[in-house]
Amino acid sequence: MLFRRAGLLAAGLFAFSATAFAADPIKVGVTIAQSPPGSVSQGTQVKDGLEVAAKMINDAGGVDGRKIELIFEDTQGIPEKARAAVEKLITRDQVVAVTGEHQSSAALAGIEVAHRYHIPYINTNGWSDVIREKGYPEVFNPGNYNSRVAIAVADTMKSLGAKNVVAFCENTDYGVGLAKLIGVQIGERAKDINYKYETLDRASKDFLPAILPLKANPPDVVVEIMLPPAAYILINQLNEQGVAPTKKTLIYDASGIADYPDFWKNVSDSAVGMLVFGLYHPKMPLPELGKKIAAAYVAKTKGDPNRLLFQAADSLYLIAEAIKVGKSTKPDDMIKALENIKWTGTRGEITFSHEKSGFKYHQWLDVPYVTFQITKVNEPVADMKLVQEPGKPLDPSKLEKTK
């Protein structure tokens, strides 16, 4: 610290240093994308969610009288940056836990550091199963996971009665990983569906060479496994070429991008008729905490609640709970507390599986999900049509046919 102070002085900006007096706040490290190529819209939603939750916790007297202090770092969605960020949060800011990560590739780099320093890491939204398969005791996953989506996609395709399914996935572990898993699940649950996937480079922006070959005979469903902004461009170009959405071909968004703040800024009628895999929908029943968070968020941002808001809030609350229950901010105590936690969060009761096999380890297994359909341009999420409710299969009769 000394050196840092000196440096700050030298840099002539000795504003205020975190390590002040009184009851030290509990520092929680947050890694999110705040600039491209990372998904900034996701990052912002996580940021809002965490800030809302932190405010609620602190207003309620904090954790054993200590306030929660969030320290944000920008990952740009780049693993290397994420690694450096977690390193910085742990070694420079001495945070008690790290959370907020919303991109698998970044999370996978981050957990390595958290594991090395043995600091609890709450994975807010990294879907990649690999994060779980590593089996790091420090890592807990209250968020969604790829196998969950893969199963959902397979089941949905089946209930849609699709024959040919093509997936476009981004060239990240998340994208390719999910695309492969869907193949696995379709193989297990709907053998007769013929499925293939194409990998797209996030950075490149002309996807036509990948789309045009589909024109000859379009598949029944195009599954889109990409993050914005690339996802938006893909959807627009699919529409431009008349591949999807059409009477014959549906677009199925497996990344849940429809509730992003810039969604309608970037797509037009090209998104109408799209099926969306959702982890949250306004018509979903929520526990008390969920309702409170949603209200606070609306008050804060005037925006509609979204899944990341809840996932972020859960992440932070879990850390707070762990400290309360474990009665300390020591990693071992917190980890122990988390392993045995049984706590009702924003969308249901969260427990972590101890099964050390594959994607199940330290995972909240029954994350609720829904499927809904976009019926018109600029439609707010609340009005999008819920075609599959938590725990129930999709009902094709509810689907709106595209023009």
Residues of this chain that bind another protein (CB under 8 A): 1-4, 7-8, 10-11, 13, 34-37, 40-41, 74, 78-81, 83-84, 87-88, 91-92, 105, 108-109, 112-113, 116, 171-173, 176, 198-206, 208-210, 212-213, 215-216, 228-229, 232-233, 236-237, 239-242, 262, 265-270
Nearer to another protein, 8 or 298 (CB): 8
**Cβ 196 to another protein shortest distance, Å:** 13
Smallest gap from Cβ 378 to another protein, in A, equals 13
Min separation Cβ 177 and another protein, Å: 9
Q: Where are the beta strands (DSSP E) in 109-253?
A: 121-122, 139-140, 164-170, 194-200, 221-225, 250-253
Minimum separation from the CB atom of position 172 to another protein (A): 5
By C-alpha distance, which of 119, 129, 100 is closest to 38?
Answer: 100
Contact present, 108 and 131 (Cβ < 8 Å): yes
CB of 203 to another protein, least distance (A): 7
- The answer to whether 143 touches 46, Cβ cutoff 8 Å, is no
Collapsing DSSP states into helix, strand and coil, what is residue 384? Answer: coil
Other beta carbons within 10 angstroms of residue 194's beta carbon come to 13
Q: By C-beta, is 205 or 354 nearer to another protein?
A: 205
Is the CB of 41 or the CB of 147 nearer to another protein?
41
- Alpha-carbon distance values, 321 to 65, 332, 338, 352 (Å): 13, 14, 8, 14
Smallest separation, CB 95 to another protein (Å): 12
Which residue's structure tokens are 């932070």? 316
- Nearest-5° angle of CA 203, CA 205, CA 210? 110
CB closer to another protein, 107 vs 254: 107
Q: Which two tokens stand for residue 229?
A: 């902004």
Nearer to another protein by Cβ, of 43 and 290: the residue is 43
CB of 194 to another protein, least distance (A): 20
**Which DSSP letter does residue 300 get?**
H
Smallest gap from Cβ 356 to another protein, in A, equals: 20
Token pair of 328 as six digits: 């300390």
Q: Which two tokens stand for residue 315?
A: 């992440």
Instruction: Tell me how far apart the alpha carbons of residues 331 and 287 are, in angstroms, rounded to a whole number.
Output: 29
**Alpha-carbon dihedral angle through residues 54, 56, 60, 66, given to the nearest 10 degrees:** 0
Q: Of how many residues is the chain composed?
A: 403
- Measured CA distances, 121 to 24, 30, 53, 284 (Å): 21, 10, 17, 28
Q: How far is the CB of 7 from another protein (least distance, A)?
A: 5
Least distance (Å) between residue 114 CB and another protein: 12
Reduce the DSSP state of residue 26 to 3 states and report it: strand
Q: Which is nearer to another protein, 262 or 333 (CB)?
A: 262
Cα–Cα distance for residue pair 305/310, rounded to 1 Å: 8
Q: CA-CA distance, 271 to 266, in Å (whole number)?
A: 10
Instruction: Using the minimum distance from each CB to another protein, give the nearer residue, 109 or 394.
Output: 109
Residue whose CB is less far from another protein, 193 or 243: 243
Output 89 or 254, the one with its CB closest to another protein.
89
Question: Closest CB to another protein among 51 and 173?
Answer: 173
Cα dist. 59→290, 317, 365 in Å?
17, 13, 31
